[in-house]
Structure formats: C-alpha cells, structure tokens
Amino acid sequence: MLMSIGLVKKSTFDEYFRQCRRGIKMGFYSDSNYKVRKDLDKVHENQFKNLGEPGSWGSGAQRIAIASQVREACYEKGIQERPGHSSDHDDTILPDVAKSLINKLSTSPKDFLEDSYTEAIDGGLTNEEYVEIVGIVSRVTDMDIFARGIGVELRPLPEPKDGLPARDRPLEAKQELAWVPTIPSHPEGGKLAEDLFGTGHKAYIMRALSLVPNENRMHMELENIQYLPVKNILIADYQHHDGLSRAQSEVVAGRISAFNECFF
Amino acid sequence: MDIGVPGGRELLDFSDALVGDDRKTLDAARIALANSIGEETIAGAAAVAANFTKNDRIANGCGIPTEPMVLKATKEIRAELNLNDFRSAINSSRHFPDDM
C-alpha cells in the first residue's frame, strides 16, 4: 500500500538490502522520502543490530522473540502495518507471562499499572528479566513509531546471534521508589552511577532501567539523539532538529505523553 | 484554538495520527505537516514522538515517581489540565501525596 501511494520507493528499499548483502553501506532509512539526520540513522541501525545480540538476561533469540512479539501485538491492534518482508513469528520461544507483559506494554501503556508488574513477577519473571523486556519493548515501539512517522516500512529484525546472556546484576541496585530496583544517583550509586548518569541527583527517567545497565545505556543513547542531549534540557530555546523549535518539539512530546497517560 | 507555535495544529494532528489506527489519516497528516512547516521537520517530529513513545513505556512500565520539586512546580497546571486523573499518577501520589 505504501508503495502504491508513492510513499516508499520500492526500488530504493530493495536496493538497500542488495547493497547490504554486498557489504556496501547505505543509510538505514535511505528509502525515506524525508531526510533523516546521520546520527539518528546510525543509532537506529546500531540499536536494531543490538537487539539480536545476547543481552544481560536474554539470549539473542529471546530478544528477537520479544521484538517480534511487540510487532505482532501492534499489528493485531491495528497501530502498525505488517511490512512485506515480515518473517514468521515463532510463538514458542517466550513464556506466556512474558507475552502478556509485552502485549500490554506495547499497545496500551496507559493501562499499565502495578498489578501488571506484579502479575509478571508472580508469573515467574525476575526483576532483571522484567527490566530487560521493558527496555526492549520501549525501544522497538520507539523505532517502529519513527518508521511509521516518516512513512517507511518497519525495519527488518536482525538474525539472532549465538552466545549466552551476561547475567551481570549490578550490586549497586537497590529498592528505591520504583517498582523495580534501581541504581541510586551518584555518589550513592558509585562509579557505575557516574558512568551511567553522571554526577549529582538524577530523575528516575534516567535511572529507571539501571537494574540492566546496558538497557539504560541504550535508552539514554536514543534520548540524546532523538529528543535532545540531556545536558541541554534546561535551555528553553535549544533547537535539536532541523526546522523544529524547542516549543514545537514539546508540542509533540506533550501530545504523545498525554495519549499514553504518562503522568511522569 | 491557537496552539501558540507555527504548525501547532498540524503537529498535534500528526502526533495523534501516529499513535492511531488509521494509516490514511497519518499519511494525510504527514503531508499537511510538511506543507505547513516544511519537509525537513518530518524526521524530527517523528523522532520526538518516537522518543516519548519509549519514555512513556519505561515510566509506566517501571512505576517511577515524579520528583517532588517538579510536583510542587506543576501543581496548578496539573489541576488545570486534569493530569492527576492519569492512572499512572498513582506512582507519584503514593510516595508524595502532599505534593499532588
């Protein structure tokens, strides 16, 4: 449908994959009719690759299964379009408790309350697994919304890579005010906190996924490029995107968050 | 209603359509936005929308509270906009009821 109404250049999209197979570099979103900044293009390409790698608690196959489940839930709800390259979804890799969490958080974050978290933990997920899933769900819905926004098909998910998860729970993490343990701000959170969030007190949005430090890093990497560098957040007229003032960016941010009933 | 920024109406329509279930409405909203404030703004608007798609799921998915300082500073506007009616407000009100 996208190709028939001229919003996707089929020849460019097919060419992207041909050139990738030959090892020739094209932009990740080279099939877009709208210009995508190089750093944004690159960060999404890298983050898609990362999905297929073994994580902290999930294997590459499990992580791709999570991403695929996000997409299936969104296709089912009608808020994403199944791309032409879509491969078969393997429904057997993830336990039902994980699928339930993914389906709910992907499609209806405004209805996601503490009972949804409790259900996941009582159903057998550890906090660490839970946080890694939340991280992946959030990043995949993010990048898929971006693709939808610029009018291109969803990017193909990578093939999963072999290897074991790192299983590296940070000793610094403790129960603070979120449902899940978090690493406290520096100095209490120590060197790891300084590495992840810098020095000084940091709001929970910067620390929410810190029980799985790599997911926290991925989240903040996207934050700095998609929204603005966090160090500039208090500069009221800071402009990060071509043609879009800070005020215009905040119109979009506020509207999306209102739709998702995100009080934070 | 005057949103107060150039292309404000088109930005809102694009945002609504992006999270909606009607692809034709989204495609029309994208074109309207490009016509209003320029094609070069599409990727930026989509990126900001994507970013808050991520953040909303992280915040609601981890049950994180808003900082007391922010609650104090936003008391009036939250009441005006009925933001305290958001279900996720409980993640803050259970820790800081006096600041709501």
Q: What local confidence, expressed as pLDDT, does residue B44 receive?
A: 97
Lowest mean pLDDT among A68-72, A227-231, B30-34: A227-231
For residue A221, tell me if it sits in a domain: no
Q: A83 preceded by cis ω (within 30°)?
A: no
Res B100 pLDDT > 90: no
List, in order, residues 6 or more apart from B66 with CB less than 8 Å away. Answer: A263, A264, B91, B92, B96
Lowest mean pLDDT among A7-11, A44-48, B7-11, B90-94: A7-11
List, in order, residues 6 or more apart from A82 with CB less than 8 Å away. Answer: A71, A75
Whether residue B51 and residue A203 make contact (CB cut-off 8 A), yes or no, is no
Mean pLDDT of B69-76: 91
Burial of A24 (0-12, 13-18, 19+ CB in 10 A): exposed
- Residue A219 and residue A139: Cα distance in Å, rounded? 7
CA A145 vs. chain centroid, Å, equals 10
Q: How far is CA B19 from CA A98, A106, A221, A247, in A?
A: 23, 11, 23, 21
Q: Show residues of chain A in contact with B26, CB under 8 Å.
A: 148
pTM across the whole model: 0.91
For residue A238, tell me if it sits in a domain: no
Provide the 8-state DSSP code for A33. S
Task: Please give the torsion angle defined by the CA atoms of residues A226, B1, A243 and A3, in that order, rounded to the nearest 10 degrees.
Answer: 70
**A76-128: pLDDT as tens digits:** 999 999 998 877 788 899 999 999 999 999 999 999 999 999 999 999 999 99
Q: What local confidence, expressed as pLDDT, does residue A15 receive?
A: 54
For residue A130, tell me if it sits in a domain: yes
Provide the 8-state DSSP code for A198. -
For residue A204, tell me if it sits in a domain: no
User: What helix, strand, coil percent values describe chain B, rounded to 5?
Assistant: 75, 0, 25
Q: Which of B11, B15, B62 sits opposite A134 (nearest CB)?
A: B62
Q: Show residues of chain B in contact with A37, CB under 8 Å.
A: 43
Whether residue A105 and residue B39 make contact (CB cut-off 8 A), yes or no, is no
**A164-202: pLDDT as tens digits:** 999 999 999 999 999 999 999 999 999 999 999 999 999
Residue B63, CB-side half-sphere exposure with 13 Å CA sphere: 22
Res A242 pLDDT > 90: no
Provide the 8-state DSSP code for A174. B
- The interface residues of chain B toward chain A in range 80-99, judged by CB-CB distance below 8 A, are 83-84, 86-92, 95
Q: Closest chain B residue to A33 measured between Cα atoms?
A: B39
Mean pLDDT of A240-245: 91
Q: Closest chain B residue to A116 measured between Cα atoms?
A: B61
**A119-159: pLDDT as tens digits:** 999 999 999 999 999 999 999 999 999 999 999 999 999 99
State yes or no: ipTM above 0.85.
yes
Res A21 pLDDT > 70: no
Q: Closest chain A residue to B62 measured between Cα atoms?
A: A179
- Residue A191 and residue A81: Cα distance in Å, rounded? 43
Minimum distance, in Å, between the CA of residue A191 and any CA atom of chain B:
23
Whether residue B7 and residue A248 make contact (CB cut-off 8 A), yes or no, is yes
Phi, psi of A241 (to 5 degrees): -115, 145
Whether residue B87 and residue A137 make contact (CB cut-off 8 A), yes or no, is no
**Is B59 in CB contact (< 8 Å) with chain A?**
yes
Residue A110, CB-side half-sphere exposure with 13 Å CA sphere: 10
Res B9 pLDDT > 70: yes
For residue A98, tell me if it sits in a domain: yes
Q: What local confidence, expressed as pLDDT, does residue A25 receive?
A: 61
Give me the domain span that covers residue A77. 37-167
Res A10 pLDDT > 50: no
Lowest mean pLDDT among A17-21, A117-121, B12-16: A17-21
For residue A10, tell me if it sits in a domain: no
Q: Show residues of chain B in contact with A204, CB under 8 Å.
A: 59, 62, 64-65, 67
CB pairs under 8 A between A and B: 250
For residue A88, tell me if it sits in a domain: yes
Of the candidates A18, A40, A13, A16, the one whose C-alpha atom is nearest the C-alpha of residue A26 is A16
| Beta-bridge partners for A182 | A174
**Is B20 in CB contact (< 8 Å) with chain A?**
yes
Q: Which of A81, A151, A261 sits opposite B86 (nearest CB)?
A: A261
Q: What local confidence, expressed as pLDDT, does residue A16 receive?
A: 56
Q: Which of B21, B42, B52 sits opposite A257 (nearest CB)?
A: B52
Q: How many domains does chain A have?
A: 1
Minimum distance, in Å, between the CA of residue A60 and any CA atom of chain B:
21
Contact, A160 vs A61, CB < 8 A?
yes
For residue A175, tell me if it sits in a domain: no
**Is B73 in CB contact (< 8 Å) with chain A?**
no
- Residue A230 and residue A216: Cα distance in Å, rounded? 14
